[in-house]
Structure 1
């Protein structure tokens, strides 16, 4: 493969397609609904009323979202290809929000193979922006109806076999573990790249049994500093230094011994920590003035999208990290996971 061309359908991802409902809100709103400032959660019964209040009382924007779908969109944007280099799987409702999301991501150049259900409405995610930071409260809706039967369909299996790289977020462990495991096993058996994201502390805390079944397949593992420390605690490691956690995580059991595990932990505006073969090193993050930051929603997803776009082209790991830093630092200057018409690769 050339250093500039990524084939059609190269990257396949699956997770929860959610329509982001984004608005700037006061701290009182965050506190009222106990939204996780700087993190994400699934909506509790107590939090469900926030969606109506958000739409009624604040100027909201609707943006196609969902962790993995964001990664796929940024990957496609970075490739600037006339063909869909990324394919996304997930479940949406048979409703207007589902149609809006399909139209939006298709215009972005992404290929989606949505399962459509009448059982629940398209999933939404309240993006509560306060002091340039975001709290995410997800109501999965139709997204949690994704079935293994859809994954086994001919159209999906053609896409799975065509792909050379896979990316799944930890959020999907709560929806279709069978699909995640089948993808991980396919990647391992065919020596393809399987990448995974810890996604949120609650995934590590409450779905650890499933996480630990998938982790041995991960060639690339992503997360942020909070997730890294939560993972260390779950492993009963007496470690808080993110670089040390990355190094130790890289040595955990691995199914495909032909590939070393590479662990990439971001730390917001601080250095990115990379763990390989029990060693760690850091890549500095370019600083962005606070005045330039619109909101941080999608920062982690866009980092992964940029990283994978360079990995797909065969660049060294540190260059992939720099591409991720560029995409994340660009996206936080826009509302939601949105970006300019074309990337400026001279900034990497």
Structure 2
């Protein structure tokens, strides 16, 4: 068993990439059970500072079934779905949020926690914090159309895979993802990043729309693609925090993902690899 959760994966890897130069915080909820204690211990081992609320429900679990390069996920997010606005504003949480430069939210967070998610989105806008949002799953884009549209438009960095983005376009009556991404950017500093597995990454920013060919990785080295997207976001955000251009951020995202998928589960290699410059 390994610690999971999309955002937790991303934060653990981001801290690992930075060699401790970046401080990361995880906000969420766990149950008062052995799995909750395990998760807290493992996430903090990666030097991510946790701000968990404890709930009277089991800590979420996910099982990943892997056969060759095919993967199927089944999950129950459990206690994390009970996170409230009161939890967010408890103790010194808001002080911590005021001190950070970027806030990252996964699409799964809006399920049953929409008021909290909107509170965070509004906080970012009011306090001029960079807000990164990940579509995460096509069914979320479809089931929460209005909410997703709001978060998509409010984000400074938008992540999604091609299937998720096609669903987003369909919801909004669009048929060309580059044109739609340009419409979302609309002359701002917003970045839109669309992944497609081992195929090209499409990315749009104010100055240009471009694509990046994912480097080839030998099939024999691919062990488990669980967390590939989470680790891509880690590499991208690390580049963003280093003020790299968008293509370098995408390149670093791909390199990070290719490191992580060579292990079972989202594990951190002992040594941080060197990015290609």
- The residue aligned with 2:55 is 117
User: Do the aligned partners of 2:29 and 2:82 also contact (CA within 8 Å) in 1?
Assistant: yes
User: Do the aligned partners of 1:250 and 1:262 also contact (CA within 8 Å) in 2?
Assistant: no
State which of 181, 198, 206 in structure 2 corresponds to 1:249: 181
- The residue aligned with 2:24 is 86
**TM-score using structure 2 length:** 0.95
Instruction: Give CA-to-partner distance per residue, 1:127-159, whole Å, 9 cap, x none.
Output: 111222221111111111111110011321111
Unpaired runs of 5+ residues, structure 1, are: 1-61, 240-244
Aligned-pair CA distance for 1:253: 7.8
CA RMSD, Structure 1 to Structure 2 (Å): 1.7
Q: Which runs of 4+ in 1 moved over 6 A?
A: none
User: Do the aligned partners of 2:71 and 2:225 also contact (CA within 8 Å) in 1?
Assistant: yes
Unpaired runs of 5+ residues, structure 2, are: none
- The residue aligned with 2:242 is 313
- The residue aligned with 1:283 is 212
Aligned-pair CA distance for 1:341: 1.5
**TM-score using structure 1 length:** 0.76
Instruction: Give CA-to-partner distance per residue, 1:239-261, whole Å, 9 cap, x none.
Output: 3xxxxx1442242388xx8x422
CA distance in 2: counterparts of 1:285 and 1:80, whole angstroms: 25
Shift in alpha-carbon separation, 1:195–1:300, aligned structure 2, 3 A: same
State which of 204, 208, 213 in structure 1 corresponds to 2:150: 213
Secondary structure of the residue aligned to 2:242 is coil
Structure number with larger C-alpha Rg: 1
CA distance in 2: counterparts of 1:342 and 1:189, whole angstroms: 39
Aligned-pair CA distance for 1:270: 1.1
Shift in alpha-carbon separation, 1:170–1:316, aligned structure 2, 3 A: same
1:130-145 matches, cutoff 5 A: 130-145=67-82
User: Do the aligned partners of 1:247 and 1:279 also contact (CA within 8 Å) in 2?
Assistant: no
Aligned-pair CA distance for 1:339: 2.6
Aligned-pair CA distance for 1:347: 3.7
